[in-house]
């Protein structure tokens, strides 16, 4: 049976699911794997799926795709735009969208598996396809590892993965060394003393405390990190209060921190925690703030030798100039846990999903950041083709590069 990949992608885009809730998505994957005659298990790491193609002696190559969506209201205007809603971990009803392209990742991996099955006479070895949940929480890969994915399935000799991104379609971005930053997600609870809005003198206002903290945190990167170094401190969420005449007792901030290595991580964390505690003290807080690490992700580091080998394979397959060095992305990923825990090389690359003409026009006008939606934007939507076909071909070329050619 031949998979209708475009229809599959459109279906996944219309029916996104939040992290660790990807039950329908897993079902679509399972149905496709069954049609292809590939052995698989569902429920790995709660909602993950792992599939195996065994094809004689040779290396074990892992191919990974993430499958979760985001609490974003889609505004792409596509005729297959998501209108789905879900319930987030706090129990809030939220809009849901594949605003990071994971639907494209899943569709591309399924297409690559179809091609690899059809060409088994040309290669030898084992392919393990990992459809991972909850990348957006930075928790899905570790959930699969905790559930024994490295022991229940053939252990990898190399881990490969890709991510669609706002580069021109037909472009591949990959670099040796640190490809993506390490990150921490923090929840900071600032503790004040609530009271009536008409009597602020009788309170310790956590909203003012939060405002001062947010502004002071902006100085970490601008004034305490060497301008030649990379670091990001973002306050992505702030919540406090329920009514205009009530000063609440607490305020919550959610922070996203990014850095290239563990040394920078230690420096930035120290500065962030110092500022949070100092602003609470300056506000007269009677209790210290509570700082909780929600997730911690290592840097995504591409193996030097494997990256050089794969870059050469991409050049041979697609022509010189297809592969560019995109620089280090300050976004973060949890794919590297698979390679780290297995003690094997990782290569993780980006592939373009933007109409090349639109990208060129925006670049000429100096409006790329304004006119080309990025991942996590409500306007983000990869160009269906050739992005999907390219995603399939990338994975096939990469897998075949590290598998053994079948004897003539």
Q: Which residues are annotated as a binding site for Mn(2+)?
A: 100, 102, 136, 163
Between CA 295 and CA 293 the distance in angstroms is 6
CA 86 from chain centre, in angstroms, equals 19
DSSP symbols for 68-122: --BS----S--TT----EEE-TTS-EEE-B-TT-HHHHHHHHHHHHHHHHHTGGG
Between CA 193 and CA 335 the distance in angstroms is 42
Residue count (the chain): 408
Q: Where are the beta strands (DSSP E) in 260-345?
A: 290-297, 300-302, 323-324
Buried b (16+ CB within 10 A) or exposed e, 312-349: ebbeebbeeebbeebebbbbbbbbbbbbebbebbbbbb
Residues 6+ apart with CB under 8 A from 3: 32, 35, 36, 110, 111, 114
- CB-based contact 391:108 (threshold 8 Å): yes
Compute the C-alpha angle 220/224/227, nearest 5°: 105
- Reference 248, options 212, 188, 189, 195; nearest CA is 195
Look-up of token digits 């994957």: 29
- CB-based contact 40:30 (threshold 8 Å): yes
DSSP symbols for 338-399: HHHHHT--EEEEEEEEE-HHHHHHHHHHT-HHHHSPPTTSTT----HHHHHHHHHHHHHHHH
Look-up of token digits 């996104």: 16
- CB-based contact 375:180 (threshold 8 Å): no
Compute the radius of gyration of the chain from its Cα atoms.
23
- CB-based contact 293:275 (threshold 8 Å): no
State the DSSP code for 136: T
Between CA 361 and CA 388 the distance in angstroms is 23
Q: Which residues are annotated as a binding site?
A: 100, 102, 136, 163
């Amino acid at each position: 049976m031949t998979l209708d990949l475009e229809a599959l992608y459109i279906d996944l885009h219309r029916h996104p699911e939040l992290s660790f809730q990807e039950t329908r998505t897993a079902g679509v994957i399972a149905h496709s794997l069954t049609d292809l005659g590939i052995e698989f298990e569902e429920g790995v790491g709660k909602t993950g799926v792992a599939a195996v193609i065994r094809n004689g002696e040779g290396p074990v190559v892992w191919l990974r795709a993430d499958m979760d969506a985001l609490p974003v209201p889609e505004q792409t205007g596509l005729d297959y735009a998501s209108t789905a809603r879900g319930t987030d971990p706090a129990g809030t009803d939220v809009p849901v969208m594949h605003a990071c392209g994971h639907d494209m990742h899943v569709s591309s991996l399924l297409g690559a598996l179809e091609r690899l099955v059809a060409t088994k006479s040309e290669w030898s070895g084992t392919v393990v396809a990992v459809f991972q949940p909850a990348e957006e929480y930075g928790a899905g890969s570790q959930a699969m590892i905790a559930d024994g994915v490295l022991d229940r399935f053939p252990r990898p000799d190399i881990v490969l993965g890709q991510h669609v991104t706002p580069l021109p379609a037909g472009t591949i971005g990959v670099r040796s060394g640190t490809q993506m930053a390490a990150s921490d997600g923090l929840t900071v609870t600032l503790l004040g003393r609530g009271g009536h809005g008409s009597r602020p003198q009788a309170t310790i206002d956590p909203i003012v405390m939060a405002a001062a903290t947010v502004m002071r945190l902006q100085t970490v990167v601008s004034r305490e990190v060497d301008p030649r170094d990379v670091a990001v401190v973002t306050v992505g969420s702030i919540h406090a209060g329920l009514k205009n005449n009530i000063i609440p007792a607490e305020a919550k901030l959610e922070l996203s921190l990014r850095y290239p290595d563990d040394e920078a991580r230690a420096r930035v964390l120290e500065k962030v925690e110092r500022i949070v505690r100092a602003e609470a003290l300056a506000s007269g807080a009677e209790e210290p703030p509570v700082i909780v690490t929600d997730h911690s992700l290592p840097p995504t580091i591409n193996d030097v030798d494997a990256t050089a080998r794969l870059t050469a394979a991409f050049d041979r397959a697609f022509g010189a100039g297809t592969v560019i060095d995109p620089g280090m992305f300050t976004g973060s990923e949890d794919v590297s846990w698979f390679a780290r825990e297995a003690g094997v090389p990782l290569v993780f690359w980006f592939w373009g999903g933007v109409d090349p003409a639109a990208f060129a026009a925006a670049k000429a006008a100096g409006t790329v950041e304004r006119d080309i939606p990025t991942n996590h934007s409500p306007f983000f939507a990869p160009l269906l083709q050739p992005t999907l076909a390219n995603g399939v071909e990338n994975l096939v070329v990469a897998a075949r590069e590290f598998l053994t050619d079948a004897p003539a």
